[in-house]
Amino acid sequence: MSYRFPWYRLSDEHLLDMRICDLNLTIKGSFLEPHIRRLYSELNERSIRFKPHVWLSEEWFSPDGVPGIAIPFYLAHPRLMKLERKQMLEIEGGTDTECMRILRHEAGHALDTAYRLHFKARWRILFGSFAQPYPDFYKPRPKSRNYVLHLPAWYAQAHPAEDFAETFAVWLSPRSRWRRRYKGWPALRKLEYTNDLMRELAGAKPRNRTRTKVEPLSAIRTTLRQHYRNKREKYDFDWPANYDRELLRIFSDDPRHKRKPSAASFLRKIRRDARQLVADGTGVHQYTIDHVLQNMIDRCNDLRLRVAAPARETRRKVMIVLTVQVMNVLHSGYHRIAV
């Protein structure tokens, strides 16, 4: 990893004052370079001639009409990954596995654009209308077998475009054994169609060869501080939650227990573990889960709740209530990954 960047020794406070366009980041020589090379070689192995172009931007996305992939800048330097974790509590795409997962998903969008796949009649029958607007929220059905499972939060269910990108990603993943994994699932038809489609495309020139970079870093004049302020706002939510009944089932406001530890301090102690566990189970961003937890802590303080049951039992109940609340958030207007 190259440390030729003068800003990498700055404290967070000073770093946050920098404008994103002044970071001078490049993909070359970064954590991202080998992953992109791997994506290209996976496409080569499947005889797909098209290779989406990639560039750094603020978020992961593949723009409408441009067959390429924008990658969030923080993945291009370990100092910025550290800042990302501090600001957002997790680094989306920060491990080898997760980075490849998202790249394959975005490659699905890029391929769709490059070969104009969603205009095909069979595509529309299997995945639905590409033109339908993105919903403000989607209600995933975790048990549905009509969709493949790839990115978290049952993302294939969000929109036909996402369904195709997810199906493509599963198809492309080496050793995904999709025929066996999805045997008996209606989703298998989508995988088989994708398999046929990709065979047809083998060696074909893409129809859309635009190499435009949408929202490249050089054009982003906001500071890192402003960037994170906006990003956190996106993961916050207005949730007129009332957990009181649930909290009273876990904790107690009986004066008998007034010498026991406070519910708020108990929640603060398990905060990190709880956040991680529920994020793994639901696919919801840790920042959002932390927000739910903070609301619960505040409410426990207001109600002067105490821990009355054994710690293990209390912990287990907290995890259940937290998961249910987080699923409610998922159902009421939460988006994890941009197009």
Taking the complex as a whole, how short is the minimal distance between the CB of residue 152 and Zn ion, in angstroms?
Answer: 12
Indicate the residue among 187 and 267 with the shorter CB distance to Zn ion: 187
Taking the complex as a whole, how short is the minimal distance between the CB of residue 246 and Zn ion, in angstroms?
Answer: 33
249 - beta bridge partners? none
Taking the complex as a whole, how short is the minimal distance between the CB of residue 270 and Zn ion, in angstroms?
Answer: 33
Stretch that binds Zn ion, among 81-89, 165-173, 189-197, 272-280 (CB under 5 A): 165-173
Indicate the residue among 3 and 134 with the shorter CB distance to Zn ion: 134
SS (H, E, C) the chain: CCCCCHHHHCCHHHHHCCEHHHCCCCCCCCCHHHHHHHHHHHHHHCCCCCCCEEEEECCCECCCCCCEEEEEHHHHCHHHHHHHHHHHCCCCCCCHHHHHHHHHHHHHHHHHHHHCHHHCHHHHHHHCCCCCCCCCCCCCCCCCCCCCCCCCCCHHHHCHHHHHHHHHHHHHCCCCCHHHHCCCCCHHHHHHHHHHHHHHHCCCCCCCCCCCCCCCHHHCCCEHHHHHHHHHHHHCCCCCCCCHHHHHHHCECCHHHCCCCEHHHHHHHHHHHHHHHHHHHHCCCHHHHHHHHHHHHHHHHHHCCECCCCHHHHHHHHHHHHHHHHHHHHHCCCCCCCC
Taking the complex as a whole, how short is the minimal distance between the CB of residue 173 and Zn ion, in angstroms?
Answer: 16
Indicate the residue among 62 and 325 with the shorter CB distance to Zn ion: 62
User: Considering only CA atoms, which of 219, 174, 167 is closest in space to residue 194?
Assistant: 167
Number of residues engaging Zn ion in binding (CB under 5 A): 2
Indicate the residue among 84 and 162 with the shorter CB distance to Zn ion: 162
Indicate the residue among 32 and 110 with the shorter CB distance to Zn ion: 110
- For residue 272, give the amino acid letter: R
Indicate the residue among 1 and 131 with the shorter CB distance to Zn ion: 131
Taking the complex as a whole, how short is the minimal distance between the CB of residue 101 and Zn ion, in angstroms?
Answer: 11
Taking the complex as a whole, how short is the minimal distance between the CB of residue 125 and Zn ion, in angstroms?
Answer: 21
Q: Which of residues 261-280 bind Zn ion (CB under 5 A)?
A: none
Indicate the residue among 165 and 292 with the shorter CB distance to Zn ion: 165
Question: Which listed residue (69, 91, 99, 165) binds Zn ion by CB under 5 A?
Answer: 165
Q: Which of residues 123-162 bind Zn ion (CB under 5 A)?
A: 162
Taking the complex as a whole, how short is the minimal distance between the CB of residue 160 and Zn ion, in angstroms?
Answer: 11
Structural contact between residues 90 and 286, judged by C-beta atoms closer than 8 angstroms: yes
Taking the complex as a whole, how short is the minimal distance between the CB of residue 109 and Zn ion, in angstroms?
Answer: 6
Indicate the residue among 109 and 306 with the shorter CB distance to Zn ion: 109
User: Considering only CA atoms, which of 102, 125, 124 is closest in space to residue 112?
Assistant: 124
Chain residues binding Zn ion by CB under 5 A are 162, 165
